[in-house]
């Protein structure tokens, strides 16, 4: 697949080219949205919103080869926007409403190993501030590098490293891990 060629077609109004671009990275989009939104339904809503925005603004993309980082930034902003609009905070209690069967029947990409592990991670991340939790999720749940996280969150690489470091330090202090435990 030639990303540059498809983006040029999409800029000319070819919806199939845009759909092909998005479907090529659908698993990555889903993982990213799921990490922010906390459930498959809201993740899919965010992806849908991102797709509409990408279609409307594709002509603003200057470098075709940067399509995926550009669209993922739009997805992050869509997730944030949906969370703000709904005044929704993803709490651990929200996760308990999903049964094991619903989790098992979720789309093929689930960034978490199990529901219990997912709950443990969410509980831990409530101990740090929102920016630190976001950076830790992107780094360790999605295995993104610092530069990618910086692009997605519109902050410097140093800020991302600081958020991850300070968040992990805070988590270790809660669990007595200061001495390498």
Q: Would the pLDDT of 117 be above 50?
A: yes
Q: Would the pLDDT of 88 be above 80?
A: no
Q: Would the pLDDT of 120 be above 80?
A: no
Average confidence (pLDDT) over 145-149:
91
pTM, 2 dp: 0.67
pLDDT band at residue 143, thresholds of 50, 70 and 90?
Answer: confident
Helices 26-37 and 15-24 meet at what angle, rounded to 10? 70
In a 13 Å sphere around the CA of 87, the CA atoms on its Cβ side amount to: 0
Residue 112: DSSP 8-state: S
Are 61 and 7 in contact by the 8 Å Cβ rule? The answer is yes
Q: What pLDDT, on a 0 to 100 scale, did the predictor assign at position 93?
A: 46
In a 13 Å sphere around the CA of 113, the CA atoms on its Cβ side amount to: 6
CATH class of domain segment(s) 113-176: mainly alpha
CATH class of domain segment(s) 1-92+101-111: mainly alpha
The domain locations on the chain are 1-92+101-111, 113-176
């Amino acid at each position: 697949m030639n990303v540059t060629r498809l983006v040029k077609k999409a800029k000319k109004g070819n919806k199939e080219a845009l759909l092909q671009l998005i479907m090529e990275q659908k698993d990555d989009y889903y993982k990213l949205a799921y990490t922010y939104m906390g459930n498959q339904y809201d993740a899919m809503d965010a992806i849908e919103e991102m797709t509409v925005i990408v279609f409307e603004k594709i002509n603003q993309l200057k470098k075709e080869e940067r399509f995926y980082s550009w669209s993922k930034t739009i997805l992050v902003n869509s997730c944030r926007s949906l969370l703000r609009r709904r005044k929704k905070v993803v709490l651990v209690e929200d996760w308990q409403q999903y049964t094991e069967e619903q989790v098992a029947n979720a789309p093929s990409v689930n960034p978490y190993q199990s529901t219990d592990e997912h709950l443990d991670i969410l509980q831990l991340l409530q101990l740090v501030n929102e920016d630190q939790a976001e950076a830790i999720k992107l780094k360790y749940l999605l295995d993104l590098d610092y530069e990618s996280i910086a692009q997605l969150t519109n902050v410097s690489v140093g800020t991302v490293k600081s958020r991850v470091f300070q968040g992990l330090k805070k988590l270790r202090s809660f669990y007595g891990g200061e001495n390498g435990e």
